[in-house]
A = this chain, B = another copy of it.
Amino acid sequence: MLPLQLQPESHVPLYIQLRDQLRALVHGGDLRTGDRIPASRELAVQLGVHRTTVANAYAELESEGLIQGHVGRGTFISGNGKGLKITPPAPPVLNGNAGIRWELLFADERGEEALARLTAAAPENAISFVMARPAEELFPVEDLQVCVNAVLRREAREVLTLGPSDGYGPLKEALLAMLRQEGLAAKDENLLITDGCQQSLDLICKAFVRPGDTVILENPTYPGALAIFNGSRAHCLGVPMRTQAEPGTALGLDMESLEATLAANRVKLMVLTPDFQNPTGTSMPLASRRKLLEMCARHQVPIVEDHVYARLNAHEERIPSLKQLDRNNLVIHIDSFAKVAFPGLRVGWMVAPAPAIERLRLVKQMTDLHTDQLAQATLAEFLRRGMFARHLARMRKVYAARLAVLDEALRKRMPEGVRWTKPQGGMCVWLELPAGFDANELLIHVKERGVLFAPGRYFYAQAPQPNTLRLGFAGVEPEQIVRGVQILGEMLRIEMRKRQRGVRRAERSRVALV
């Protein structure tokens, strides 16, 4: 049997672990040309993993020329991979009489997917802190209806036919006006409409990142960003987030680690959320922003600034965005309507230097021609009529109140040893349980009591901390926040007592043994 040892706890996908270990066995001489390796089904059973995981690892090794399948005979080591040849991966092969084997997946299960499954079987009336999402019950539906009808009365034909790939003209105008008012001077050539921040990240990845390129992310970070850059075979490096105030260091991205990472790697680009970061809720202070821009200018590293939570400041003060501070054309600024209102309408935007936008526009055209125009035109109307500004003002108050309720509930209900962040806005608070606790296990218990949250491990680019979790509060009503945190506190105390009993028992048994 092959000496393989997979770490399901690791954020490194299982198939990558398996690929690397098999490659090491070949390079180390444990496996030699001509050796037969187990069928994927067989190895999957041995390792207790899904067959797709093994199939993926094999596909990677085959494309490196390390192994080769022979129909009816099995899979064999075909080289030591030193004189690396680019051989096309095997064509899909027969699966009995079912035809093509479609399950030759590229990537393993992803964080978002795991989250979706964890929360799928939740009861109807569960208190869910899982998502960072707006309050649906407060959507200004009538305003939206007014806008849709105005659009269809006035400009139906233009809206319903094929449009420009950079975006619907009237929406671009309305957005530029809003940005100008907020203190960001941009021209039409600096603006691209997309289907939202997820697509913006995807387009950026397609336009600028190639397999093997190094990309810096925050650690922890938004799992959708991880999925994209891992999926494109970029090399993702996570720079730690400072979530607790400590003397001598600022909150937000750890600037010393960042400097070291930039110095030691050829970095293609970095992705950051300076305001109310997802998942930690922390913001980067102004001094760090200036320092960051200086560093990135020095190392010539472009910055993708995710600005999607920035308008949701609980207090008056807002820190200028990286894009506002940028004097070197370093920043691609991505944003969307989804966190203020209507994530079901898929419309977002990017602000970037004109040559970057021109390239991204071509990629956008190739990807899906353009963004849905009924949504674009409706949101343009929503902006022009001042409805967006009005709704945003209302939501800022609502979310600030919910954040205060959450913080107070946590202070009241959390046992000693639990720490959490103190965001000044946004949609999430990040909790650290005492070391040794596993948020996944806690979730199993609180789910039985009808409470859900997002375990922290899915947000890490590397070194996942199993004792962390994210509470998305914006979409949860105040009474539910109070009740949810109460249950969370109760279950945590129960777990802590169990643990202490376990420790005492272990101590007693140790005494008896000695």
Chain A: residues with CB nearer than 8 A to chain B? 63, 82-94, 97-103, 105-107, 110, 112-113, 131, 133-134, 136-137, 139, 141, 144-145, 148-149, 152-153, 156-163, 195-196, 198-199, 202, 206-207, 210-214, 224, 227-228, 231, 266-268, 297, 299-302, 328-330, 338, 341-347, 352-353, 355-356, 359, 362-363, 365-375, 378
Cα–Cα distance between A369 and B112 once the two chains are bound (Å): 10
| Cβ A195 vs Cβ B141 within 8 A | no
The listed residue (B88, B199, B224, B344) touching A159 by CB distance below 8 A is: B344
| Cβ A139 vs Cβ B113 within 8 A | no
The listed residue (B92, B134, B137, B228) touching A300 by CB distance below 8 A is: B92
Cα–Cα distance between A389 and B152 once the two chains are bound (Å): 22
Given contacts A89-B213, A214-B88, A368-B195, contact A113 B362 (CB under 8 A): yes
The listed residue (B195, B343, B344, B359) touching A102 by CB distance below 8 A is: B359
Given contacts A113-B365, A300-B93, A375-B372, contact A160 B133 (CB under 8 A): no
Q: Which of A85, A113, A368 has the most CB of B within 10 A?
A: A368
Q: 18 A-B residue contacts at CB 8 Å?
A: A83-B84, A84-B85, A86-B212, A88-B210, A91-B267, A91-B268, A91-B300, A92-B302, A98-B353, A101-B355, A162-B343, A198-B368, A199-B368, A202-B368, A231-B366, A344-B372, A345-B373, A372-B374
Minimum C-beta distance from A120 to chain B (A): 11
Chain B, residue nearest A226 (CB)? B366
| Cβ A139 vs Cβ B156 within 8 A | yes
Chain B positions within 8 Å of A212 at CB level: 86-88
Chain B positions within 8 Å of A106 at CB level: 207
The listed residue (B344, B347, B375) touching A162 by CB distance below 8 A is: B344
Cα–Cα distance between A387 and B92 once the two chains are bound (Å): 41
Chain B positions within 8 Å of A94 at CB level: 300
Chain B positions within 8 Å of A145 at CB level: 149, 152-153, 156
The listed residue (B84, B141, B231, B355) touching A152 by CB distance below 8 A is: B141
| Cβ A160 vs Cβ B136 within 8 A | yes
Given contacts A149-B145, A372-B346, contact A366 B159 (CB under 8 A): no
Additional A-B contacts beyond A105-B359, A346-B373 (11; CB < 8 A): A63-B210, A89-B210, A99-B297, A139-B156, A144-B156, A145-B153, A160-B341, A162-B343, A195-B372, A367-B367, A374-B375
Chain B, residue nearest A371 (CB)? B346
Given contacts A139-B157, A267-B91, contact A224 B366 (CB under 8 A): yes
Cα–Cα distance between A213 and B69 once the two chains are bound (Å): 17
Chain B positions within 8 Å of A163 at CB level: 344
Given contacts A86-B212, A131-B162, contact A373 B344 (CB under 8 A): yes
